[in-house]
């Protein structure tokens, strides 16, 4: 259900919405702009998303969830040591952010902040995405032998810190916050080693 041979209209719309909302936020992104960027028309957008902008937002968040999760598990599985894996992940985020001209930070945090308490469906999709990413980190830690509770708490902080570091790195146009976060998270994880 995910990929048509040539990217179908619906998928182009979701991708465009996801990218635009990542860069401009939810309120800053117009449906007409999404249609134009996706090389689709307004009619198509409302055909696939009768729920309007909110439904489009939910789809965009879910799309970003999947994309980021893929990038996350790729980074995490590349290293046997979870501490090093997290640092590698931070570096990957820094590289991607720099290469995009400091435009592509966390794909959902802007949307998350603008819609908290005002668009429950989007908020729920955002929470699900964060939970999804946490679970990936927690799973990696458990496989490396960390106790359940420790892995759970560490996963929370890993995602939080990467999130915050990405925000700061974007604002300062500097890789430093992400790289420092990688080092500190690795040190924190190591400190729980049995």
What are the residues binding DNA (CB under 7 A)?
8-10, 29-33, 40-44, 46-48, 52-54
In angstroms, how far is the first alpha carbon of the chain from the final one? Answer: 43
Cβ–Cβ under 8 Å, residues 116 and 108: no
Cβ–Cβ under 8 Å, residues 164 and 155: no
Please tell me whether residue 145 adopts helix, strand or coil conformation. coil
Taking CB under 8 A as the rule, does residue 136 contact a copy of itself? no
Q: Quote the CA–CA distance of 66 and 86 in Å, as a whole number.
A: 19
Buried b / exposed e over 135-165, threshold 16 CB at 10 Å, is ebbbebbbebebeeebbbebbeebbebbbeb
List, in sequence order, the alpha helices (H) in 25-81.
Answer: 31-37, 42-48, 52-77
Q: Name the DSSP class of 26.
A: S
Residues 102-121, interacting with a copy of itself (CB under 8 A) = 102-103, 105, 109-110, 112-114, 116-118
Among 24, 44, 54, 73, binds a copy of itself (CB under 8 A): 24
- Give the angle 139-167-170 at the CA atoms, nearest 5°: 125
Among 9, 33, 44, 157, binds a copy of itself (CB under 8 A): 157
Least distance to a copy of itself, CB of residue 161, Å: 4
Least distance to DNA, CB of residue 150, Å: 43
Q: Which does 99 bind (CB under 5 to 8 A by kind): a copy of itself, DNA, none?
A: none
Q: Which does 32 bind (CB under 5 to 8 A by kind): a copy of itself, DNA, none?
A: DNA
List, in sequence order, the alpha helices (H) in 78-147.
Answer: 82-99, 109-115, 120-143
Least distance to DNA, CB of residue 61, Å: 15
Q: Which does 188 bind (CB under 5 to 8 A by kind): DNA, a copy of itself, none?
A: a copy of itself
Q: Name the DSSP class of 5.
A: S
How many residues belong to the site for a copy of itself (CB under 8 A)? Answer: 46
By C-beta, is 50 or 149 nearer to DNA? 50
Site of interaction with a copy of itself (CB under 8 A): 23-25, 27-28, 101-103, 105, 109-110, 112-114, 116-118, 123, 126-127, 130, 153-154, 156-157, 159-165, 167-168, 170-172, 176-177, 180-181, 183-184, 187-188, 191
């Amino acid at each position: 259900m995910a990929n048509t041979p040539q990217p179908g209209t619906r998928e182009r719309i979701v991708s465009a919405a996801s990218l635009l909302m990542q860069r401009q936020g939810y309120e800053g992104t117009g449906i007409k702009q999404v249609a134009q960027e996706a090389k689709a028309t307004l009619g198509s957008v409302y055909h696939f998303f009768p729920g309007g902008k909110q439904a489009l937002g939910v789809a965009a968040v879910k799309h970003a969830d999947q994309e980021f999760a893929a990038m996350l598990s790729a980074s995490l599985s590349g290293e046997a040591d979870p501490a090093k894996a997290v640092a590698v992940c931070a570096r990957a985020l820094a590289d991607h952010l720099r290469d995009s001209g400091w435009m592509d930070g966390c794909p959902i945090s802007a949307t998350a902040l603008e819609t908290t308490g005002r668009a429950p469906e989007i908020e729920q999709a955002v929470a699900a995405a964060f939970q999804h990413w946490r679970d990936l980190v927690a799973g990696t830690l458990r496989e490396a032998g960390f106790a359940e509770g420790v892995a759970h708490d560490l996963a929370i902080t890993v995602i939080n810190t990467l999130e915050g570091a990405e925000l700061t790195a974007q604002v300062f146009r500097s890789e430093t916050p992400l790289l420092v976060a990688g080092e500190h998270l690795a040190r924190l994880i190591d400190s729980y080693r049995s």
